[in-house]
Amino acid sequence: MASHASRPTDAKQRQREQHHAADPAGGPLTTDQGVVVDHTDDSLQVGERGPTLLEDFHFREKITRFDHERIPERVVHARGAGAYGFFEPYHSCSEFTKAAFLQDPSVRTPVFVRFSTVQGPRGSADTVRDVRGFATKFYTAEGNYDLVGNNMPVFFIQDGIKFPDFVHAVKPEPHNEIPTGASAHDTLWDFVSLQPETMHMMMWLMSDRAIPRSYRTMQGFGVHTFRFVNAEGQGTFVKFHWKPKLGVHSLVWDEAQETQGRDPDFNRRDLWDNIAAGNHPEYELCVQLVPETDEHSFDFDLLDATKIIPEEQVPARPIGRMVLDRNPENYFAETEQVAFHTANVVPGIDFTNDPLLQARNFSYLDTQLIRLGGPNFAQIPVNRPVAPVRNNQRDGYHQGQIHSGTSYSPNSLGGGCPVHTGADPSAFSHLQERVDGRKIRKRSESFKDHYTQAALFFLSMADWEKQHIIDAFRFELGKVGSMQVRERTVEQLAHVHHGLATAVAEGIGVAPPEKEDTPQPEPSPALSLAGENNRGDGSIRTRQVAVLVADGVDAAQVGAVREVLEAGGAVVEELAFHDGSVRDGDGREHRVDRALPTVASVLYDAVVVPGGPSSVQELVADATVLRFVRDAYRHGKPVGALGSGVGLVAKLEPEGLRLAGDGDGAVADHGVVSDTSTGGAGEEFLSQLTAAVAAHRHWDRPPVRH
């Protein structure tokens, strides 16, 4: 018998063999029936200009298959990107759960992860303001386990019966199908203004969390409270967190909007390119554990999906890591056809009575039946478990198994197989709990506080994050045509934080609210992007750094910058006015990576301007270059300047920013690192530049003149 550790590898190999056995590049062109075709450029017709003949079975098959290529896209989470990888626990979690994949650090469980946006269709852009899906399929030895999460730990509604209403409201307006991939429109905010339970989630959605820098720097959350169950049948409430090793980083709204035009595939391209380059994204799986005896110890209900457990109250414990190390071979076959389901659990993981989770446990299976053409979607390779499948389910659309023997239970003619395991401790068994009560349509009183945690989120933000939230509300509500919707939304915000509501009201032309008492919870530093626990490992790995060059550039400075940053794992690209090469200060040919007209500042994490008087003179004369550096500065990104390159940065005229002068050596001020010393890039400059890039953003810098 194969060991648990070897099964995933064997399953992967079988999938690859099946794939390559039907590889269309592996032989002559054939029809779907295997008939070799001699010609596929012209239809069969009568003479050179005559009508097409109905007997041309190759043409009819080809065009019919083309006409039926599209399957229904997901109603939500339609636009996605996926990757394969593995998960390994740090230690045994047997104290809390008997789930086999959480026991042995030497056993790697294969995974497939799909990241996605919620509102837009498959053709929408990556960098819209939206919730992001973070769904993980674990191919465990006990069956598939799906952790179907988002990049935000809460949701818009408390009960799944409201899900169709919310989705209809956030989708494009029904009369004109506008806007695509955006929430800034009347119907969404009409719904929000009438549903106070949305307030906490709207704070997250208006924050920078809604525009992640990359899927590699994005948190994931299971949203709901689940249960761990150990071998003794004892339950523990659990909240799941994915924490990226590179830290949690986001775009700013100005960047996000421009990036949609520059590269609408920005996030999916980043994921694909980094995995292909060997920069494998890594995440820690962390859990918040609450004994069942403490279920009612909080000032909110654990079953309420619009609430979090602050990490200051219950720390998030790391229990394992996930590494994504392989791109899919075919987007449709894998990323598009992967089917997740919150009810795909394994022994040791169980549900709670969260009404939103209960609804999802019905909805996901129902969705796959319509999208993937019937009940046999689990036979699609990306959905196929590595654990053996033995049951009496038969037939249906797209049945790929050839079954024999009996198809009912109990039976004697088939030797009683497949047989249920009865009291086998390895079998899945629902946690037994007493449930009774009257049949009612009524929400628990413990779900009624809709404002305290919304206030908690806002009060936990750094000052620059609060301003971004205010700006986001102003932008979104500024797109709303109905003044009564604007006014109602401000009224809701007034219950969260008076200063926030007043600032938003002033920006959208409605009367500021009357001062009233609002919640004053203790801030949670873990919620802020500026918080220590969101900074990652402090490295500069995979940061994209642009170096601006032209004829006459100081090649020694460029080489020194490139060597140090690339040694730290950053990706350095030299940008010139054209592809190919430039001449350095000594007249030698110097290769460049990209042409400036094909990229933009928003696609990079930092910018460096090396010296070389003639190079800098040419760069300064170009408005595109000045905008490139100005945008990086405005967006809080690190800026480096060497020698005469300091003069280009000085053109920005930042008020109060200190730049290096003659003999100053290296100067670092608000993430701008400069050095006018002659010669190559010095050790002090390179050290300060590396530190500035590692810090990612520098929001406290003085403004530039426009």
* Active site residues per annotation: 77, 150
Amino acid in position 679? G
Asked if residue 468 lies in contact with residue 207, where contact means CB atoms within 8 angstroms, the answer is yes
**Nearest to residue 468, comparing CAs of 153, 251, 258, 189?**
251
Interatomic CA distance for residues 11 and 143, integer angstroms: 13
Give the CA distances from residue 627 to residues 153, 558, 573, 652, in Å, rounded to whole numbers and listed in that order: 37, 21, 18, 9
- What are the DSSP E strand ranges found in 376-465? none
Amino acid in position 323? V
DSSP per-residue letters across 529-549? TTSGGGSTTS--TT-EEEEE-
Three-state SS across 199-243?
HHHHHHHCCHHHCECCHHHCCEECCCCEEEECCCCCEEEEEEEEE
Interatomic CA distance for residues 338 and 382, integer angstroms: 6
Residue 671, judged by CB atoms within 10 A of its CB (0-12, 13-18, 19+), counts as buried
Which residues share a beta bridge with 575?
A: 548, 594
- Phi and psi at 66, nearest 5°, equal -65, -45
Cis, bond preceding 355 (omega within 30 deg of 0): no
Query: What proportions of the chain, in percent to the nearest 5, are helix, strand and coil?
Result: 35, 15, 50
| Torsion angle (degrees, nearest 10) of CA 168, 174, 176, 182 | -10
Asked if residue 237 lies in contact with residue 309, where contact means CB atoms within 8 angstroms, the answer is no
Residue 560, judged by CB atoms within 10 A of its CB (0-12, 13-18, 19+), counts as buried
Interatomic CA distance for residues 675 and 688, integer angstroms: 11
| CB-side neighbour CA atoms (13 Å) of 267 | 32
Q: Which residue has tokens 């924490």?
A: 243
Strand duo 220-221 + 282-291: pairing: unpaired
Q: Which residue has tokens 């830290």?
A: 247
Which residues share a beta bridge with 326?
A: 84
If residue 553 lies in a helix (H) or strand (E), which one and from where to where? none
Instruction: Give the number of residues written for the chain.
Output: 706
Asked if residue 394 lies in contact with residue 192, where contact means CB atoms within 8 angstroms, the answer is no
Asked if residue 271 lies in contact with residue 214, where contact means CB atoms within 8 angstroms, the answer is yes
DSSP per-residue letters across 80-137? EEEEEEEEEESS--TTT---GGGT-TTPPEEEEEEEEESSS-TTS-TTSSS-EEEEEE
Interatomic CA distance for residues 251 and 234, integer angstroms: 43
CB count within 10 Å of CB 534 equals 18
What angle separates helix 163-170 from helix 355-371, to the nearest 10 degrees? 60
DSSP 3-state of 57: helix
Asked if residue 80 lies in contact with residue 271, where contact means CB atoms within 8 angstroms, the answer is no
| 474-476-479 Cα angle (round to 5) | 100
